[in-house]
Amino acid sequence: MTRKIAVLGTGAIGSSVAADLVKAGYDVTLIDQWPAHVEAMRAHGLRVVMSDDDFTVPVSACHVCDLASRNDRFDIVMLAAKSYDTRWLTELIRPYLQADGVMVGLQNGMNDEAIAAIVGKERTLGCVVELSAEVFTPGLVQRNTTRKSTWFGFGELDGSYTARLREIEALMSCTAKISLTPNITGAKWTKLVNSSMILSVFGMLGLQSWQATDIPEVFKVCIRVGRETMAVGAALGYQLEPIFGFTAEQMMGSDDETVEKLLRAVLGHLGPNARKARGVVLQDYLKGRQTEVECLTGVVVEKGRMVNVPTPANDAVLYVNQQIRARALKPEASNIAIVERMMT
């Protein structure tokens, strides 16, 4: 039986995944709230440019408002929207998800509980994503990680290995290297360690990864941010999980060593595209859009207070990003001095 798949939210990650699934012959519907992007895909197809591939596929794309008249029912929904759009988009798609269907959050942040609260834990699958891409032009994706350097980790929320988990593994093998884990929440928090260091910090500085990691002051702040995020996760009872294709042995070492490995992993995955790639927070600042910082660094700060773990570095990074959002600051390298002052 042909499985009907919806990719809900076709920004950089959603478009990259959807294009590969369509190219592999799957029945995929792309749903998005950016009208120009939907119309461009309808008219000209979806083009994805990578360092080792450049292809265009015809796609079935629809506006969010088209759902009610299409009367579709999906076996698999991949939610690839911003974390702050999780709840309303999950509510939106819930009537169109089959009773035995599954919803997968291809997102940054810790959104699985929110999804499960709406569609049910039995219809929710967790995912950790390592895919770098950008969409600034409707219908056109610049994918910075190749299929060989892209990684996805999937897991059931209860830690079991199921037939549908194996199905997702097979399905997604056309777009990335796939790992399955019985510790998906720990894996997602481990990714949050990485995101809090890279997305929130580099975004507030207006820098790409290769630029930021060469600045000693920035590198020190990143390590401090990562250590705090690890400490909060430990206090919450989360166990670090090897991600990005690392083995358990490679993840061993001191906290600083582990954090540095996670920090440098992104540059390794970007390879020849390292000097072109921009983190998603920086992309959002360039587009004049709301960022996910509140759903990344903000979660670390909030959870840290809950478990009485101080997070001065994350507090400072969150503050600077909030000031940029309020237009009191601009995303520029001099913001590192503000963070340093606040941490002391």
Which of 277, 308, 322 is CA-nearest to residue 136? 277
Q: For residue 130, give every residue at least 6 positions away whose Cβ sits within 8 Å of its Cβ, in sequence order, or none.
A: 145, 150, 151, 152, 176, 191, 243, 244, 265, 266, 269
- Mean pLDDT for all residues in the chain: 93
Percent share of the chain, pLDDT over 90 = 83
Does this model's pTM top 0.95? no
User: Do β-strands 27-32 and 177-180 pair in parallel, antiparallel, or remain unpaired?
Assistant: unpaired
Q: Mind listing the pLDDT tens digit for each residue in 252-302? A: 677 778 888 887 776 666 666 667 778 899 999 999 999 999 999 999 999
Count CA within 13 A, CB hemisphere, residue 119: 31
> Does residue 1 have a pLDDT over 70?
no
The pLDDT value given to residue 269: 67
pLDDT, mean of residues 315-331: 97
Domains of the chain: 4-182 (3.40.50.720), 188-343 (1.10.1040.10)
- Under 8 Å between Cβ of 314 and 188: no
Q: Find the DSSP H helices in 8-93.
A: 12-23, 35-44, 67-70, 86-93
Q: Mind listing the pLDDT tens digit for each residue in 86-99? A: 999 999 999 999 99
pLDDT, mean of residues 96-116: 97
User: For 327-332, which contacts have Cβ atoms below 8 Å and span 24 or more sequence positions?
Assistant: 330/206, 331/203, 331/204, 331/205, 331/206, 331/282, 331/285, 332/205, 332/206
Which of 143, 137, 131, 136 is CA-nearest to residue 273? 143
* Amino acid identity, position 117: A
* Amino acid identity, position 3: R
CA–CA distances in Å: residue 270 to residues 150, 163, 191, 198, 231: 9, 32, 16, 14, 28
Task: Give the model's confidence band at 2: pLDDT under 50 very low, under 70 low, under 90 confident, else very high.
Answer: confident
- Copy the structure tokens of residue 32: 């998005």
Q: Which residue has 């478009």 as its token pair?
A: 15
pLDDT, mean of residues 33-57: 97
Q: Find the DSSP H helices in the chain.
A: 12-23, 35-44, 67-70, 86-93, 112-119, 163-172, 184-205, 209-212, 216-235, 255-270, 280-287, 293-306, 312-325, 335-343
**SS3 (DSSP) at 62:** strand
Q: Mind listing the pLDDT tens digit for each residue in 134-162? A: 999 999 999 999 999 999 999 999 999 99
Measured CA to CA, the distance from residue 228 to residue 222 in angstroms comes to 10
Measured CA to CA, the distance from residue 136 to residue 37 in angstroms comes to 10
Measured CA to CA, the distance from residue 203 to residue 329 in angstroms comes to 12
Which of 222, 12, 14 is CA-nearest to residue 132? 12
Measured CA to CA, the distance from residue 136 to residue 254 in angstroms comes to 39
Q: Mind listing the pLDDT tens digit for each residue in 222-252? A: 999 999 999 999 999 999 888 877 777 777 6
Count CA within 13 A, CB hemisphere, residue 179: 21
The pLDDT value given to residue 104: 98
